Amino acid sequence: MAVPLAGSALAACGTSGPSQAGAGGGGAAAPSSGGATYWYLSGQPSEGVRTNALNRFNQANPNDQIQGTTFQNDAYKTRIRTAVGANQAPTIIWGWGGGTLRSYVQAGQVEDLTSWFDQNAAVKSRLFSSAFAPATVNGKIYAMPAETVQPIVLYWNKRVFQKVGAQPPQSWGDIMSLVPKFNAAGVAPFSLGGQSRWTNMMWLEFLFDRVGGSEVFQAVADGQQGAWSNPAAIDALTKVQDLVKADGFIKGFSSITADSNADLALLYTDKAAMMLHGSWTYGTMSSDGGDFVSGGNLGYMNFPPVEGGKGDPTATTGNPAQYLSISSKATDAQKETAKKFFATGVLTDAEIQDWIGTGGVPIVNGADAKLTGSKDADFLNFVYGVASKAKSFPQSWDQALSPTAAEKLLDNISRLFQLSITPQQFADSMNGVIGQ
Amino acid sequence: MTALAPPGARTAIPSPVAGSGRSASFAWMALPALIVFVAFGVVPLLGVVGLSFTTWDGLGAITPSGLTSWTAVLTDPGLPHALWVTFLVMALSWLVQTPISLLIGVFVAGHQRYRALLAVLFFVPLLLSSAAIAITYKALLDPNFGLGAGLGIPLLQQDWLGQANLALGVVVFVVSWQFIPFHSLIYQGGVRQIPRSMYEAAELDGAGRVRQFFAITLPQLKYTIIASSTLILVGSLTYFDLIFVLTGGGPADATTTLAVDMYKRGFQANLMGPASAIAVILVLVGLALALLMRRVGGSDSTASQLEGT
């Protein structure tokens, strides 16, 4: 009966199909013959870097070909899970590590790489050691860290700060006293794409860390009963609601999505003074913001400490790396090809240069030596410094937790920012999914 | 059946010899549709019913878990809320769409040439994909870069998708905007079926335009209204794509309908058991609605509408 509705629903799904890249053609990802397969994310400029790295490997190894297929970010998340569940996974599975990787491990779908890393110690030692935590499940390594490190950064708009005559915040108290100052000047203190939910989560990640230290969330990740009821957690949740109540975020933030980059636009069009966001937004702001970045108007800093908090002010959070796993359903020949790619094709000097060119910091020790000369050298050095000096660098919560707990978390965060639940209700609700 | 047998009933009185052969050939013709229906309708439905009694994360083994999924869903305060939101979307969509589609349908049923042109224009929203519509409206409604901010109209500068009631209103508005053309088309067809002679007779009796509308057009469209209403009600029950792209079910759970709730549980939280339980609830509610609409229409819906008028 609902034929016209169903028809339009199907039509809406037809835009995000996969596209082929790399060597060969033919079928998508059925584990066939000796050639390995590799699924990764589309979207420039990162897609180009990934494709180039793959092409270089294929040219250098005519007998070990890897066929790449690209997917759009959100479509990939469901597609890869379905494929892995149906034993149709590609040889190399691109991912975010953490909770999703753990569910692959529990289902026996990915290879244990611990002994391979022991045999190839050089591959391991050249990468940031913090990058390995999200690749590790029960003490064993199931993924190869790759690509770039992406800490969350507090950006500030120098033009707006100068106009209002304010100084960048050195503490949580500074933040709260800057809020009325900017509001009085008609500028939103903080930009926020609140509809995307994980954007709000970044605030909680830092407040939990600064108030109670990294062990507060670690207890949640470890599945300790009642971990969300920690007084430090309640304090952090209360602080973020205080900020919402003080109109710290731009009016209508719940209508703004991060995927449209409207939150970035608010900062570079001087409508907002500050923004807490991933280091990956730097590239978009410099390409879309006119002379905002090139004119030196963008300031950046690590999240400031909270008065009386236990957290280490050098700690950060975000994406320690991206991850490549090997499907346990692949043939031995495909697995060998994948390992060869990990050892000789991932984060080669050429790929490192490509990443730096996109405004990213590769997860390679000593990459800072290569940053000089880049037009974004200041920012890249800042990111490298934050990432390499961080006392702790936990992964974003929604990636670290299981998908089930992460969905519950994002749902509760959205309610918390709507002020429709109290910090205590948030903690009670989240305690219900601990360990899931 | 009424005294005046509809055309279909006449074939039911065949000669005894030809009878069996003819019904056999009819059965054969229904076979392809039946196969498709069983393969893509009944089998997946049974699968979903089966899954609702299991625990499965979409990756590992499917483990039977009895009523765990059902208890989880039925005791979740989110379920009555999702049912309520679904009902609101359904009822409000119907209330908005039916009168407007009816009036537009009657209007474009006229044979004037400018009306034909307008009919084509009215039809445009139906040609767009729901995702495209949702993304467009999201951009238009952006509180800082949208239509309101661009034109400097404070009235349009609301937190459209960030406040519970406004967001629900926006969803109903956009859904209606998209589907009013379709239902207008149904009404246009219905109006054109009404014999001209009835209006001529009414004109001779001195009935005006408004009187004609209420005394002839509306009663004659009874079954068209029921058909269109069934489509609206059952359709909005499963309506998903536009809401998901426009609001993602938010803010918080303000626009989380049953279908959105099902998707979030199944494909974001990877709880296939509870998601299947919600799917079964959706099927049951949909069936009940469709049956109810048939009941409202009366069991003799094949009877002629002309007699007794």
Put simply, the answer to whether B235 touches A414 (Cβ < 8 Å) is: no
Residue B35 lies in a domain: no
Put simply, the answer to whether A4 touches B240 (Cβ < 8 Å) is: no
Report pLDDT for A34: 63
Report pLDDT for A331: 87
Q: Measured between CA atoms, how close is B61 to chain A, in angstroms? A: 8
The DSSP code for A141 is E
Q: What is the tally of structural domains in chain A?
A: 2
Put simply, the answer to whether A252 touches B270 (Cβ < 8 Å) is: no
Put simply, the answer to whether A252 touches B271 (Cβ < 8 Å) is: no
For residues A9-26, average pLDDT: 40
List the beta bridge partners of residue A277: A153
Put simply, the answer to whether A262 touches B239 (Cβ < 8 Å) is: no
Residues contacting residue A272 through CB under 8 Å, at least 6 positions apart: A157, A160, A187, A188, A189, A190, A191, A250, A266
A255: nearest CB among B141, B179, B241? B141
Residue A11 lies in a domain: no
Residue A388 lies in a domain: no
The answer to whether residues A79 and A216 belong to one domain is no
Instruction: Say how many Å lie between the first and final Cα of chain A, rounded.
Output: 39
The separation between CA A291 and the C-alpha centre of its own chain, rounded to angstroms, equals: 26
Put simply, the answer to whether B60 touches A256 (Cβ < 8 Å) is: no
Report pLDDT for B146: 83
Q: pLDDT band for position A150 (50/70/90)? A: very high
Put simply, the answer to whether B142 touches A260 (Cβ < 8 Å) is: yes
Contact B205, B268 (CB under 8 A): no
Instruction: Give the tokens for residue A222.
Output: 């470890």
The answer to whether residues A191 and A253 belong to one domain is yes
DSSP per-residue string spanning A212-230: H-THHHHHHHTT-TTGGG-
For chain A, positions 291-330, list CB contacts with chain B under 8 A: none
Nearest CA in chain B to A420: B252
Instruction: Provide the domain limits for residue B265.
Output: 78-297
Residue B252 lies in a domain: yes
Instruction: Provide the domain limits for residue A63.
Output: 17-147+321-346
Q: Whole-angstrom Cα distance, residue B266 to residue B263? A: 5
Which pTM value belongs to this model? 0.82
Angle between helices A332-344 and A46-60 (to 10 degrees): 110
Amino acid residing at A52: N
Question: Residue B184 region, left (φ>0) first, then alpha (ψ -120 to 50), else beta?
Answer: alpha
Average model confidence (pLDDT) across chain A: 86
B76 touches chain A (CB under 8 A): no
DSSP per-residue string spanning A228-251: GG-HHHHHHHHHHHHHHHTT-BPT
pLDDT tens digit string along B132-183?
A: 999 899 888 888 888 888 888 878 878 888 888 899 999 999 999 999 999 9
pLDDT tens digit string along A53-79?
A: 888 888 888 888 888 888 887 788 888
For chain A, positions 65-94, list CB contacts with chain B under 8 A: 78, 81-82, 84-85
Residue A359 lies in a domain: no
Residue A354 lies in a domain: no
CB B69: neighbour CB atoms within 10 A?
Answer: 25
B183 touches chain A (CB under 8 A): no
Q: A424 φ, ψ to 5°?
A: -65, -40
B252: nearest CB among A253, A266, A414? A414
Residue A436 lies in a domain: no
C-alpha torsion A83→A88→A94→A97, nearest 10: 70
Q: Whole-angstrom Cα distance, residue A203 to residue A190? A: 11
Cα separations in angstroms, B291 against B230, B295, B301 = 10, 6, 13
Residue B84 lies in a domain: yes
Nearest CA in chain B to A85: B59
List the beta bridge partners of residue A361: A149
pLDDT tens digit string along A131-140?
A: 888 999 888 9
Put simply, the answer to whether B230 touches A1 (Cβ < 8 Å) is: yes
The answer to whether residues A292 and A197 belong to one domain is yes
Put simply, the answer to whether A262 touches B145 (Cβ < 8 Å) is: yes
Judge residue B3's burial from the number of C-beta atoms within 10 Å of its C-beta, 0-12 exposed, 13-18 middle, 19 or more buried.
exposed
Residue B112 lies in a domain: yes
B200 touches chain A (CB under 8 A): no
Average model confidence (pLDDT) across chain B: 83
**Which CATH number do you get for residue A206?**
3.40.190.10
The answer to whether residues A213 and A308 belong to one domain is yes
B297 touches chain A (CB under 8 A): no
The separation between CA B154 and the C-alpha centre of its own chain, rounded to angstroms, equals: 34
The dihedral through the CA atoms of A327, A331, A335, A338 has a sign that is negative
Put simply, the answer to whether B142 touches A82 (Cβ < 8 Å) is: no
Residue B280 lies in a domain: yes
The separation between CA B127 and the C-alpha centre of its own chain, rounded to angstroms, equals: 17
Cα separations in angstroms, A67 against A160, B140, B163, B209 = 48, 41, 47, 69
The answer to whether residues A268 and A119 belong to one domain is no
Q: Whole-angstrom Cα distance, residue B190 to residue B182? A: 13
ipTM: 0.78
**Which CATH number do you get for residue B206?**
1.10.3720.10
Q: Whole-angstrom Cα distance, residue B137 to residue A306? A: 40
For residues A111-128, average pLDDT: 88
Residue B16 lies in a domain: no
For chain A, positions 183-212, list CB contacts with chain B under 8 A: 194-195, 197
Residue B23 lies in a domain: no
For residues B185-208, average pLDDT: 89
The answer to whether residues A271 and A412 belong to one domain is yes
C-alpha torsion A225→A231→A232→A236, nearest 10: 100
Q: Measured between CA atoms, how close is A426 to chain B, in angstroms? A: 13
Range from A80-94, A228-242, A261-275, B153-167 carrying the lowest mean pLDDT: B153-167
Q: Measured between CA atoms, how close is B161 to chain A, in angstroms? A: 5
CB A92: neighbour CB atoms within 10 A?
Answer: 28
Q: Measured between CA atoms, how close is B128 to chain A, in angstroms? A: 8
- The overall longest dimension of chain B from CA atoms, in Å, is 79
The answer to whether residues A27 and A155 belong to one domain is no
With a pLDDT cut of 70, the percent of chain A lying above it is 92
The DSSP code for A165 is T
Residue A261 lies in a domain: yes
Q: For chain B, what is the HEC assignment?
A: CCCCCCHHHHCCCCCHHHHHHHHHHHHHHHHHHHHHHHHHHHHHHHHHHHHCCEECCCCCCCEECCCHHHHHHHHCCHHHHHHHHHHHHHHHHHHHHHHHHHHHHHHHHCCCHHHHHHHHHHHHHHHCCHHHHHHHHHHHCCCCCCHHHHHCCHHHCCCCCCCHHHHHHHHHHHHHHHHHHHHHHHHHHHHHHCCHHHHHHHHHCCCCHHHHHHHHHHHHCHHHHHHHHHHHHHHHHCCCHHHHHHCCCCCCCCCCCHHHHHHHHHHHCCCHHHHHHHHHHHHHHHHHHHHHHHHHHCCCCCCCCCCCC
Q: Rounded to 5 degrees, what angle do the CA atoms A154, A157, A163 make?
A: 140
Report pLDDT for A25: 37
The answer to whether residues A129 and A33 belong to one domain is yes
The answer to whether residues A330 and A420 belong to one domain is no
Residue A123 lies in a domain: yes
The DSSP code for A396 is P
Residues of B in contact with A260 (CB under 8 A): 138-139, 142
Residues of A in contact with B285 (CB under 8 A): none
The answer to whether residues A308 and A166 belong to one domain is yes
Residue B2 has pLDDT above 50, yes or no: no
The answer to whether residues A56 and A194 belong to one domain is no
Put simply, the answer to whether A2 touches B139 (Cβ < 8 Å) is: no
List the beta bridge partners of residue A326: A92
pLDDT tens digit string along A158-216?
A: 999 999 999 999 999 999 999 999 999 999 999 999 888 999 999 999 999 999 998 99
Q: Whole-angstrom Cα distance, residue B58 to residue A89? A: 13
Residue B268 lies in a domain: yes
Q: What is the tally of structural domains in chain B?
A: 1
pLDDT tens digit string along A345-380?
A: 888 888 888 888 888 889 888 888 888 878 888 999
Residue A355 lies in a domain: no
Q: Measured between CA atoms, how close is B307 to chain A, in angstroms? A: 28
